[in-house]
Structure 1
Amino acid sequence: MEKIDTNAVDGPVAWRGPNFPGFGGAAVKLRWIDTPYRWHRNDDREFFLVLSGCVEMRTRKNGRTSSLLLEAGQAAIIEAGEEHVACPRGAARVLVVET
């Protein structure tokens, strides 16, 4: 068994943090963020959980942008091929699971 302190994942470089292999091929990533990532698509689904802070998750389809505001304890599921970008409002810690 391994204890992980998510509060220890901190800056100064956004979108870096530990990866946890061995979950049936899923990429499990713990990240500290304070800047948007970039618009992108994944080949498979993504589970995006906000552990602390607040993140606006934006999606774009047919030229139209929509968004969800995610606070600590809230998550979003992004479907395969769905164009999206995570935009933190200040510093945030997130758990990302990609299949």
Structure 2
Amino acid sequence: MEIIRSKQFLAERAWGARDIANMNGVTTRLHWTDQPYKWHINDGEEVFAVLDGKVEMFYRQNGQAFSEILETGDIFYACVGTEHVAHPIGEARILVIEKEGSV
């Protein structure tokens, strides 16, 4: 049993993470960042939940780029093959659930 106070989590570098759980090859990680990630496509599905802060999520569908502002409590679901990149607006803390070893 463990309680994690996500709003208090800090990492030494952008996208630094704290591993929370690995359930049969599906990882749950808490990330802290104040810098954009990189465009990528995960090896499987991804659930991206903003726990604190705001993130502009860019994604591509059918060759077109889109973006949405995700606020605290919002969840972005990337199905297999969804190219995307997260740009925090200031500091953000994000819970990411994905296949172990995914980008």
TM-score, with structure 2 as normaliser: 0.88
Instruction: Give 4+ residue runs of structure 1 displaced > 6 Å after superposition.
Output: none
Contact 2:38–2:86 under 8 Å retained in 1: yes
The correspondence of residues 1-99 of structure 1 with structure 2, limited to 5 A, is: 1-99=1-99
Name whichever structure is richer in strand by fraction. Answer: 2
Shift of 1:81: 1.2
Q: CA RMSD in A?
A: 1.3
For this pair of structures, how many residues does the alignment match? 99
Of residues 62-71 and 45-54 in structure 1, the stretch that sits farther from structure 2 once superposed is 62-71
TM-score, with structure 1 as normaliser: 0.91
Cα deviation code 1:42-96 (max 9, x no counterpart): 1211000000100011112343101121100111101111110011011000000
- Once residues 21 and 3 of structure 2 are traced to their aligned partners in structure 1, the CA distance between those partners, rounded to angstroms, is 15
- Once residues 48 and 75 of structure 1 are traced to their aligned partners in structure 2, the CA distance between those partners, rounded to angstroms, is 6
Shift of 1:23: 1.7
- Once residues 43 and 22 of structure 1 are traced to their aligned partners in structure 2, the CA distance between those partners, rounded to angstroms, is 16
Give ranges in structure 2 of 5+ residues lacking alignment: none
AA aligned to 1:72 is T
